[in-house]
């Protein structure tokens, strides 16, 4: 399931993010890649531990906590703190699958790991600012291409093979992170999302005590109760 979420950040917030990111020091992104991914990763990243990365990442997390569509789609249990990357001058990231388990920052000594169920990319550059830089995600129905407006975000399974095509002009700036869901099975999570969206669409046109709406809501929560891992 690939889901887009519009307006995670407003255009003014994007402008403020870019003002700070464009003035920040960037380093080789290959330094944070795994052994195999390192050979196909050509981009730049902001130091994860920097004050800037932490502050902007927290702002993204606060915005997402107020977005029902994100909560419904991800059912987040744990979110890896957002990172920031930049592709320019032919920068690309070849086909790869994200690591299944990751240590949370600062948690290596305690061995606090999270499972990556969903990957997220929040675009911070408008599509006309750069050529190329398309996120390609392989799924059961073929390859889906994603290149969104600045401030919009895409969620896709971390288990999927995906890549970023070469940026031939301009710069592609984005935030990226991972989510461990309360419902790890993608099929179950998709069913819950579809059911929840149907309930949300019906709610404005029906009394809150309508037995049909109450029953649908009950089915949703009983399925969530059955499938969630807390």
Binding residues are 96, 98, 162, 172
Query: How far lies 100's CA from each of 36, 103, 158, in Å?
Result: 14, 10, 8
DSSP string for residues in the chain? --EEETTSS-HHHHHHHHHHHHTS--EEGGGGS-TTGGGGEE-EE--TTSHHHHHHHHHHHHHHTT-HHHHHHH-EEEEPPPEEEEEETT-EEEEE---SEEEPTT-TTTT-EEE--EEEEEE-S-GGGEEE--EEEEETTEEEEE-PPTT-EEEEETTS-EEE--EEEEEEEEEEEEEEESS--HHHHHHHHHHHHHHHHHGGGS-TT-HHHHHHHHHHHHHHHHH---
Q: Which residues are annotated as a binding site for Fe cation?
A: 96, 98, 162
Q: Which residues are annotated as a binding site for 2-oxoglutarate?
A: 172
Q: Which residues pair with 131 in a beta bridge?
A: 169
Residue 36: phi and psi, rounded to 5, are -75, -40
């Amino acid at each position: 399931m690939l889901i887009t979420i519009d307006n995670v950040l407003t255009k003014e917030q994007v402008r403020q993010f870019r003002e700070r990111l464009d003035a920040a020091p960037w380093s080789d992104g290959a330094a944070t890649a795994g052994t195999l991914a390192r050979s196909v990763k050509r981009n730049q990243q902001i130091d994860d531990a920097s004050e800037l990365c932490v502050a902007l990442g927290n702002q993204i997390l606060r915005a997402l906590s107020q977005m029902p569509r994100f909560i419904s789609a991800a059912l987040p249990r744990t979110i890896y703190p957002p990172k920031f990357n930049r592709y320019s001058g032919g920068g690309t990231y070849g086909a790869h699958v994200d690591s299944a388990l990751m240590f949370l920052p600062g948690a290596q000594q305690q061995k606090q790991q999270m499972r990556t169920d969903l990957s997220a990319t929040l675009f911070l550059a408008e599509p006309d600012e750069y050529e190329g830089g398309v996120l390609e995600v392989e799924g059961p129905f073929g390859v889906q291409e994603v290149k969104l407006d600045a401030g919009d975000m895409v969620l896709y399974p971390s288990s999927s093979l995906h890549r970023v095509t070469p940026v031939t002009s301009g710069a592609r700036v984005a935030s990226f992170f991972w989510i461990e869901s309360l419902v790890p099975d993608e099929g179950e999570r998709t069913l819950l999302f579809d059911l929840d969206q149907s309930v949300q669409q019906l709610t404005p046109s029906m009394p809150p005590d309508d037995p049909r709406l109450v029953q649908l809501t009950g089915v949703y929560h009983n399925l969530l109760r059955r499938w969630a891992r807390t």
